[in-house]
Homo-oligomer: A and B are copies of this chain.
């Protein structure tokens, strides 16, 4: 399924000549810069030059404009997360860029198109791949190579047209963080106008959840342990903020909703715990559990699970069609992803370090 991404020589595909002029310099460079690591562990990242990837018949060659980081990128680098990584390993999964060349069988894109990557290549629509014994977890920057390169060449099926209303850095935040919130609330969650949505925290997925829920006409309550972050969330449109460190957030939620509870909870796994969310959810409500996979358990009392009969569903990003829907919604609703800080390509280590400090929204590298 995947493109011939190991760059071992001359690209033998059709490089559409009229577009050569877009490449750096008057004649296209055959070399590019790329961040990679030779082994799992935190201290091994290095920036090196490599030949440009070969472009197969179904591939598009994309010049990277921005990469958005997720905390998972850090975990993969430091622990491997049990994945079968190929070394040298190029990290990161979410990018936006511009198509520079296309293989001869490519039909969906042409040079000059702005695109974003998909987190789970090959999952186009409908049910997720994999089976009960071995869930699918083949993502960019994991089982597949990552995107911290000046160029990538992947099958055209792995890309989606970028929204015209966003710059490259903003667009790069959609494939994982944006889609996770959209998939939880809209594609699987069927969020409705007037619903009460509780969002835990102010990270990348949480702030997308806030923005998408507001755009859908929901009432949004956000929790945080930082008064300052709550202020910023309110200025983004949240209807209410609850400071988790100074009050019982479930009790406060009851008060804010006349005891109704939350129709939908965006639960960041490893936070306050499923137990509190089960207390907080409205009857027949929904708890979307999102988050990283390392070492956490969910647990909670069976009483409210039975008596309120909520749906508890884990959400692990989503399919390409939903990403296309999100792109359309972003354009039509003029949603602006929240970027906490933009780093330069050379500052990748600093950007990774930022992830440990609870960013308000996303951390992005601009190329």
Docked CA distance A242–B319 (Å): 34
Does A85 make an interface contact (CB < 8 A)?
no
Stretch at the interface among A25-33, A45-53, A288-296: A288-296
Contacts of A313 in B (CB 8 A): 309-312
How far is it, in angstroms, between the C-alpha of A302 and the C-alpha of B300 when the chains are bound?
A: 13
Contacts of A328 in B (CB 8 A): 194
Beta-carbon nearest neighbor of A280 in chain B? B132
A171 CB to nearest chain B CB (Å): 16
Q: Is A9 in the interface zone, CB < 8 Å from B?
A: no
Is the C-beta of A237 less than 8 angstroms from some C-beta in chain B? no
Query: Beta-carbon contacts of A277-293 to B below 8 Å, as 1s and 0s?
Result: 00111111100011101
| Residue A136, interface by CB 8 Å | yes
Chain B residue with the shortest CB-CB distance to A254: B133
In the complex, the answer to whether A132 meets B281 with C-beta atoms within 8 Å is yes
Asked if residues B333 and A259 are in contact (CB atoms below 8 Å), the reply is no
Binds B, one of A36-44, A121-129, A358-366: A121-129
How many copies of this chain are found per oligomer? Answer: 4
Is A230 interfacial (CB-CB < 8 Å)?
no
B-facing mask of A174-193, CB < 8 A → 1, else 0?
A: 00000000000010101111
- Residues of chain B lying within 8 A (CB to CB) of residue A298: 299-302, 305
Chain B residues, Cβ within 8 Å of A18: none
A224: interface (CB < 8 Å): no
Total count of chain A residues near the partner, CB < 8 A: 79
A314, B321: Cβ atoms closer than 8 Å: no
With A192-B325, A193-B186 as known contacts, state yes or no: A130 contacts B269, CB within 8 Å: no
Instruction: Say whether A137 faces chain B, with CB atoms less than 8 Å apart.
Output: yes
Q: CB of A107 within 8 A of chain B?
A: yes
A107 B1 Cβ-Cβ under 8 A: yes
Would you call A309 and B300 a contact (CB within 8 A)?
Answer: no
- A135 touches which of B191, B280, B304, B326 (Cβ 8 Å): B304
Docked-complex contact A296 and B302, CB < 8 angstroms: yes
Q: How many Å lie between the Cα of A363 and that of B180 in the bound state?
A: 45
> Contacts A193-B329, A298-B302, A299-B299 given; 14 further ones with Cβ under 8 A?
A124-B124, A126-B319, A128-B309, A131-B260, A132-B253, A132-B254, A132-B285, A136-B307, A186-B193, A193-B212, A194-B332, A217-B333, A310-B313, A312-B312
What are 6 A-B residue pairs whose CB atoms fall within 8 Å in the complex?
A57-B57, A125-B127, A132-B259, A132-B261, A309-B314, A312-B313
